[in-house]
Amino acid sequence: MSKVTVQAPANIAFIKYWGNTDDNLPLNNSISMTLDNCLTTTTVAFTDESYDTIEIQNQHGTYEELKRTSIKGSKAYEQIKRIRELAGSEKRVMVKSVNSFPANAGIASSASGFCALTAALLLVYGLKNQFEDKKELSKLVRMSGSGSAARSVMGGFVELIGGDAHHVSYAVQLADEKHWGLCDVIAIISSDSKKTPSSEGHRSAHSSPYFETRLHEMTKRIESTRKAIERKNIEKLGESIEQDTISMHAVMMTSNPPLYYWEPGTLDVIKHIISWREKDSLQAYFSIDAGANVHVICEKKDAQEIAKRLSTVSSVQSTIVNHPAKGVHEIENHLF
Ligand code: PMV
């Protein structure tokens, strides 16, 4: 096969991965939901050139080469080398990629991006078995350096097992995309690129005095999150989601150097969500990744009302409503 295109969803972590080992292995388990309106489409084809190229579409619709010297670029070109070696091939590739949402703004573009890249490479290099074995695929995706990307391999609700060895850290599907009509209404506060990439944050997490406490208290939270998903209990799930977000940002803000991903608008949205819950019994819960945007988790029946209310908050530029998506899969329409 000389040209392959795949589509991978981003995901929102209900329980977040923050902090890794020297080998980029996640130190804690994380749990997420895949997002059907935040997708990366990637086409990979063999080229006669003696080098690989990766181009990503920017917000103006034109393709820009991903710089080898950037953090994302070095990881991506390294991943091409890794998969090529695995296939025992010499062939170089041309990669083009398009995101359906703003990249680097706390919507886990690295998750969908690295998942799509790895899956497309495996298929183009003829490693179909590794693509189809989702546990193996999740390990290979994780090796790209983006742990969250490993959770985009499977649809619906997914847990990434953390650990200190390659063979113990992989993704497991907790429930598929049809299990629960949950929504993630993303309130876009800012589409600017984040200043500190998560890879740096994972390394400095250990310097926070609260990091060990977070790891310790997570065991119970993971257990109750699994149960809440299984029983479709939005209140219990929401409680865990908010606790975990605050716990991760407390670690970020108390690390050395400290990381402040929030903007004033982030707190503004948090306050609105709490007041809608208290005053109007609207079951909405906030989650924030390594960026300023707020993911509002709710049931499908409340999603339109929440999107409507968010659009009246002055710090919210726009909203994206997401339902659980299927995991990474091949599609017919190539980007070039
Ligand atoms: O997998 P990375 O390196 O992109 O880090 C993910 C970090 C968070 O998005 C903040 C949390 C998570 O588990 O998705």
Nearest CA to ligand 1 atom 8: 289
Q: Are 43 and 336 in contact (CB under 8 A)?
A: yes
Tell me the pTM.
0.96
What is d(CA 147, CA 277) in angstroms, rounded to the nearest whole number?
32
With 0-12 / 13-18 / 19 or more C-beta atoms within 10 angstroms meaning exposed / middle / buried, residue 17 is buried
Separation of CA 11 and ligand 1 centre (Å): 10
140 Cβ closer than 6 Å to some ligand 1 atom: no
Tokens 């800012």, located at residue: 190
228 Cβ closer than 6 Å to some ligand 1 atom: no
Separation of CA 280 and ligand 1 centre (Å): 32
Going from the C-alpha of 323 to that of each of 37, 205, 209, 261, 277, the distances in angstroms are 8, 31, 36, 25, 21
130 Cβ closer than 6 Å to some ligand 1 atom: no
Pocket test for ligand 1, best of 11, 12, 16, 151 (most atoms within 8 A of CB): 16
DSSP string, 7-27: EEEEEEEEE----B-TTS-BS
In sequence order, what are the residues at sequence separation of 6 or more whose Cβ sits closer than 8 angstroms to the Cβ of residue 237? Answer: 14, 225, 228, 229, 285, 297
Separation of CA 17 and ligand 1 centre (Å): 6
151 Cβ closer than 6 Å to some ligand 1 atom: no
108 Cβ closer than 6 Å to some ligand 1 atom: yes
Pure H helices in 107-208: 109-124, 128-132, 134-142, 198-204
DSSP string, 250-312: HHHHTSSS------HHHHHHHHHHHHHHHHH----EEE--SSS-EEEEEEHHHHHHHHHHHHT
Full pLDDT tens readout for the chain, 336 residues: 689 999 999 999 999 999 999 888 999 999 999 999 999 999 999 999 999 999 999 888 899 999 999 989 999 999 999 999 999 999 999 999 999 986 655 576 789 999 999 999 999 999 999 999 999 999 999 999 899 999 999 999 999 999 999 999 999 999 999 999 999 999 999 877 777 889 999 999 999 999 999 999 999 999 999 999 999 999 999 999 999 999 999 999 999 999 999 999 999 999 999 999 999 999 999 999 999 999 999 999 999 999 999 999 999 999 999 999 999 999 999 999
110 Cβ closer than 6 Å to some ligand 1 atom: yes
What is d(CA 291, CA 233) in angstroms, rounded to the nearest whole number?
27
